[in-house]
Structure 1
Amino acid sequence: MPDNYLSEVRNQYEALPYPACNPQDEHKRLVLTWLEDLPMVNHYCFAGKQSFQKGFRALVAGGGTGDATIFLAEQLRHTDAQIVHLDMSQASIALAKERAQIRGLSNIRWVHDSLLNLPALAAQLGSFDYINCSGVLHHLADPDLGFKALQSVLKPDGAIGLMVYATTGRIGVYQMQALMRLVNGGETDAQRKIANTRDILASLPPGNWFKRSEDLHHDHKAGDAGIYDLLLHSQDRSYSVGELFDWLGEGAAGGKQGHGLHLAFSDVQRGRSPYLPHMVLGSKPPAMAAALRKLPLRRQYEMAELMGGSIITHSLYLTRNAACSAPYGDTDYVPFFYHEPLTGEIASQVFGNSRGQPFMLRHQHSGVSVTVNPGKYGAKILALIDGRRSFGEIFEQFRAAWQGKAAAPDNAALFADFAESYETLNALERLLLRHVSVAAAAT
């Protein structure tokens, strides 16, 4: 292994592969990773036009024990796509390989190396349509050097799925890390550090900030590797929304240039909802909520992160510009429900009970409560969404059943009327889009 990776970090993941897993569990279930759901990748990274055929190539940089790699490979099993799993830990790669063997996956290439060496590996590995880098950059001495390494093997029209730690939701974690550095002092034995941490966790008073926010965190309940990764890591940093925009987006106000990329945030199971003030403030928003909704998205995201306090990681897609997301307002796009067993009939009933008046949508799966204006026709449009019809076909069918005295609304009027319903469901990642040129099987 090269010397450009922090030795303590490398040793940690050799001794305690992360995330901890039992390969035999592959016989029972498939671990799903949020950013690698192909319909999501297609919607946010390839304008809904990616078929994942024709030599699609994905890199999982810092793939650990293989969650993202296995999920991608399973979804792409019947295509000619290739996934490259790169990791600095031989122990982690061994576990990931065993998982792949159990599933009979042959579309993965295994590389034992540091992601910091990607520029030198480019001739050997080639370039990639999609790169996953989840939970890695924040453990580097120089995260930007790592990000530049990822960009060196990304195709010009490729995309990156990134996860880094979030500052606000991890306040208690960093206080615990500081505490355990004091408790462990000069202790070098990992098992002794873990034992000390378990003892402290069992005795924390209710006023401790980690204790107050413990429901946000799960790693410390999942064995030694989780405890070490969460509370004893030797190299761990976090980011606010604003810092990510400064670094990866348009840059800081003071003149420091960012990477100029488009950032599309999507929190696990909650989508954009924890980044939008009107969705964070719940069922009794203040009078200013409508005004906040009109502010630039970056500012809304920064405020919502502080309002909610529950974002512990930032998951996002990075693309060259906003046009890489599937556009709302194009009749050649197919809307489809995702992430829960939702049908047009069910959605129509929920949105139709208010008879076209604003109503409080209480979304059980995400915990979000938000006021939605379904418009005059929202419920009827939702009823026609079946994952096969395009908006053009849906609107034609809507007009075919029109019984009003006035002329039936045109496409522009229907898109405008349905916009808030779409935006709400899309913000929750429950309604996505794909282009008509892409078969439903691809998503």
Structure 2
Amino acid sequence: MDHPLEAPLDAATPVVSAFYDRFPYPGDPLQDGPPPGYNWRWCVDSVVAAVDGALPPEPRPWRILDAGCGTGVSTDYLCHLNPGAAVLAVDISAGALAVARERTARSGAAAQVAELRIEQRSLLDLAGEGPFDYINSVGVLHHLDQPEEGLRALVPLLRPGGLLHLFLYADGGRWEIHRTQRALALMGVGTGPAGLRLGRELFATLPESNRLRRHHEQRWALDTAADANFADMYLHPQETSYDLERLFRFVDQPGIHFAGFSNPEVWDPARLLQGELLERARALSPRQQWALVESLDPDISHFEFFLRRQDGGGAPETLSSTVPQAWSDEALLAAGGERNRCLWGWPSTALLGPDLRPLTITAEELALMEALEASPAGTPIGALPLAQGPAERAAAARRLREERVLLLLRA
């Protein structure tokens, strides 16, 4: 059931809603059957294991909110990657929601979950919903007139300990995009079909050596092949972006703490440095390392990260308290586990891992995982019917956990 948006709480809502009615986003094609592949950030089991190091032992069909679902790409994955969940997807654009409903109907998303609701509502007006275990709000808050109000609206919808996944634009990697946006605005091309036509014409007209044209053709041409995606990037009427310092000021709100980037490999100095320079970088605090990476890599175009709602009372948790701790052999052997659903090519020793990169496991590691899947849920790894000795299976379980093939269950 849709809710009328006659009195939007955010000043940008009518303009943004009309924009997405013209250009329903994202412009991914519709298809019959489940969505292709996976994105582990939309599989709540995989997220919780990544943030906490293990899954809770209690039963968990998750309660999930897709806050700003657009044309339903994220909603579709959230349903197929979280069987049995209860999913609420909301967006302010009727045009985008029409596509979302068709997408999820054609994919069979509703059959995968206990409940799927797709409603025309503002994320600022969801009082009475929840509490949710997981809120996905990717590429949404930065289109509000006051993004901090969006964050303040979402946090109370989380259960204590629940996780919020956000994606916000970064200044550095959008330098060329911002200049293109300003140029098109100065020429008054508008945010409709004329703006789309003239925006594409701009890149065809600029000299081949022009930095804006080169940047678009080399980095964004494929991503913006769909008209809706081009419009979202270059014609959007309301947008905010951040640097790292402003980002952490933005998330510094009562009741939540930063629980880590959802693309941590991007923020690892080893991606850019080696030798003594890397040693010096490793000696820095995590925040300093991230600031270093931000300085060294001007192509970072967005921040994607998790926030956790704190339990009531007590001092805010530090980042170090959210980093999964090492597991002893004894703890590994006493733990149960599950296979990560975000693997391509299972069962095999040659896989694509959760980040869609090639991953090779050994025959012994494959045997451990197959024994785990064939055993009753919660069976300790040390009790699996395998010829492997305790040290051998603990080593296999440790590597499988590090590669995120194995999701451990806390005892």
Measured against aligned partners, the alpha-carbon deviations of 1:149-185 in whole angstroms (never above 9, x if no partner) come to: 00121111211011111221111111111111122x2
The correspondence for 1:157, drawn from 143, 151, 161, is 161
The correspondence for 1:231, drawn from 223, 229, 234, is 234
> Aligned residue for 1:60?
66
> Given the superposition, is the C-alpha separation of residues 211 and 303 from structure 1 closer, same or farther in structure 2, using an over 3 Å criterion?
farther
Letter in 2 for 1:131: I
State how 1:20-419 maps to structure 2 within 5 Å: 20-23=27-30, 25-27=31-33, 29-30=35-36, 32-45=38-51, 47-50=53-56, 53-77=59-83, 79=84, 81-106=85-110, 107-118=115-126, 121-122=127-128, 125-183=129-187, 185=188, 187-188=189-190, 190-214=192-216, 215-218=218-221, 221-249=224-252, 260-267=256-263, 272-281=264-273, 285-319=274-308, 320=310, 321=317, 326-330=324-328, 331-332=331-332, 339=343, 365=357, 384-386=364-366, 388=369, 397=388
TM-score by length of 1: 0.72
> Given the superposition, is the C-alpha separation of residues 266 and 63 from structure 1 closer, same or farther in structure 2, using an over 3 Å criterion?
same
Letter in 2 for 1:280: L
Query: What runs of 5+ residues in structure 1 fail to find an aligned partner?
Result: 250-256, 348-362, 367-378, 403-410, 439-443
Q: CA deviation at 1:132?
A: 0.3
Q: Is the 8 A contact 2:169 2:301 kept in 1?
A: yes
> Aligned residue for 2:22?
15
Letter in 1 for 2:404: L
C-alpha separation between the residues in 2 aligned to 1:145 and 1:20?
27
Q: CA deviation at 1:200?
A: 0.5
SS at match of 2:183: helix
> Given the superposition, is the C-alpha separation of residues 296 and 341 from structure 1 closer, same or farther in structure 2, using an over 3 Å criterion?
farther
Letter in 2 for 1:180: L
> Aligned residue for 2:314?
none
C-alpha separation between the residues in 1 aligned to 2:338 and 2:247?
30
SS at match of 1:290: helix
> Given the superposition, is the C-alpha separation of residues 400 and 56 from structure 1 closer, same or farther in structure 2, using an over 3 Å criterion?
closer
SS at match of 2:24: coil
Aligned pairs, how many? 369
Letter in 1 for 2:268: L
SS at match of 2:137: strand
Q: Is the 8 A contact 2:35 2:76 kept in 1?
A: no
C-alpha separation between the residues in 1 aligned to 2:348 and 2:226?
42
SS at match of 2:118: strand
Letter in 1 for 2:24: P
C-alpha separation between the residues in 2 aligned to 1:346 and 1:82?
33
Query: What runs of 5+ residues in structure 2 fail to find an aligned partner?
Result: 311-316, 373-379
Q: Is the 8 A contact 2:123 2:154 kept in 1?
A: yes
> Given the superposition, is the C-alpha separation of residues 96 and 200 from structure 1 closer, same or farther in structure 2, using an over 3 Å criterion?
same
Using the aligned pairs only, state the percent identity: 25
Q: CA deviation at 1:437?
A: 5.4
> Given the superposition, is the C-alpha separation of residues 212 and 117 from structure 1 closer, same or farther in structure 2, using an over 3 Å criterion?
same
C-alpha separation between the residues in 2 aligned to 1:219 and 1:30?
18
> Aligned residue for 1:358?
none
Letter in 2 for 1:199: E
SS at match of 1:4: coil
> Given the superposition, is the C-alpha separation of residues 29 and 112 from structure 1 closer, same or farther in structure 2, using an over 3 Å criterion?
closer
C-alpha separation between the residues in 1 aligned to 2:362 and 2:326?
15
C-alpha separation between the residues in 1 aligned to 2:171 and 2:221?
17
SS at match of 2:125: helix
C-alpha separation between the residues in 1 aligned to 2:173 and 2:191?
29
> Aligned residue for 1:407?
none
Q: CA deviation at 1:51?
A: 7.0
C-alpha separation between the residues in 2 aligned to 1:437 and 1:211?
52
The correspondence for 1:4, drawn from 2, 9, 19, is 9
> Aligned residue for 2:409?
436
C-alpha separation between the residues in 2 aligned to 1:75 and 1:298?
32
TM-score by length of 2: 0.77
Letter in 1 for 2:123: L
Letter in 2 for 1:198: R
Letter in 2 for 1:275: W
Q: CA deviation at 1:195?
A: 1.1
Q: Is the 8 A contact 1:116 1:146 kept in 2?
A: yes
SS at match of 2:292: helix
Q: Is the 8 A contact 2:44 2:134 kept in 1?
A: no
> Given the superposition, is the C-alpha separation of residues 129 and 193 from structure 1 closer, same or farther in structure 2, using an over 3 Å criterion?
same
Q: Is the 8 A contact 1:176 1:210 kept in 2?
A: yes
